[in-house]
Amino acid sequence: MSREVRDLPTRVPAAGLPDAVTIYEVGARDGLQNEKAVVPVEVKAEFLDRLADAGLGTLEATSFVHPTWVPQLADAEELLARLPRRPGIDYPVLVPNDRGLDRALAAGVGHVAIFGSATETFARRNLNRTLDEQFAMFAPVVTRARREGLRVRGYVSMCFGDPWEGRVDPAQVADVGRRLMEMGCSQLSLGDTIGTGTPGHVAAVLDACVAAGVPIGNIAVHFHDTYGQALANTLAALRRGVTTVDASAGGLGGCPYAESATGNLATEDLVWMLDGLGIDHGADLDALVATSVWMARQLGRPSPSRVVRALAGE
């Protein structure tokens, strides 16, 4: 069969879905920070440049976390200095605290993200704060970032399950999200950190957030495919009105809190589904696949993305 027939999804639009979706690409940060070995800075820079060539407009580049905690991203300043800042391309970075924000401002970034928790246990383990204390830590960071003209994204982890606490009440997720938005975050990314969410659960969490006063237009979703639910969960979120979806080229990244975790939703798998639904996204699937094949070779292992494997014949 020809490439056009075999390797393109049949486009059948469905009612109740958005016309366009923003792909928030996290492979260079969330994906590579989970690698055991440190990826050379020149490889990271080329990875981001290839992703920009593939039509992605939001590329989370790195994190200004202390190198002791995330040595894989210790080269954040050097990476950003190497990047050709293209017009129209957004390069957000993660900042954990005031010191991280200092570094981000010095690097000239225009968009930062903080990383909160929906549960008490993960807040203590990841931030060394209680659930309530995390807001006191984030408040000055968000306030100063906004004063400097930066956009601020608020990540919320463990929204659909916690390995220590088990089930997480959607109302608790909604309360954390509301407080981050009231603090000054412009967007909220709800994370299924251990990948246990299912479509009905996704709808319930989103409904709870909206009921708490968080506009659906300010919510993004961040799914892991640990139990094979990432695309189904994404579709459930789109049906609720979400228009920003986090994804990682080639499915890079993993979850250190669940055995057999298979990482983030692969950008190529997301694009294939969006193409089939007739939803605009701006990405070039062939260029994405080529980029993920290239990166897989740098890492010395095949991409976990099923679309990459199917189209690249790997």
Boundaries of every domain in the chain: 21-312
The correct answer on CATH 3.20.20.70 for the domain covering 21-312 is: yes
Residue 8 has a pLDDT of 85
Measure the CA–CA gap between 85 and 92, rounded to whole angstroms.
12
Measure the CA–CA gap between 277 and 263, rounded to whole angstroms.
24
pLDDT in tens, 233-259: 999 999 999 999 999 999 998 655 555
Mean of all residue pLDDT scores within the chain: 93
**pLDDT (average), residues 166-189:** 98
- Tell me the three state secondary structure of residue 185: coil
CA-nearest of 69, 255, 254 to 163 is 255
Residues with a catalytic annotation lie at 255
Reply yes or no on whether the pLDDT at 314 is more than 80: no
DSSP 288-300: HHHHHHHHHHHHT
Confidence of residue 86 (pLDDT cuts 50, 70, 90): confident
Whether 165 contacts 201, CB under 8 Å: no
Reply yes or no on whether the pLDDT at 292 is more than 60: yes
Residue 2 has a pLDDT of 40
Reply yes or no on whether the pLDDT at 1 is more than 50: no
Residue 68 has a pLDDT of 85
Residue 292 CB contacts under 8 Å (≥ 6 apart), including other chains: 249, 250, 266, 267, 268, 303, 305, 308
pLDDT in tens, 70-85: 899 999 999 999 998 8
Q: What is the pTM of this model?
A: 0.95
Burial degree of 175 (CB within 10 A; 0-12, 13-18, 19+) = middle
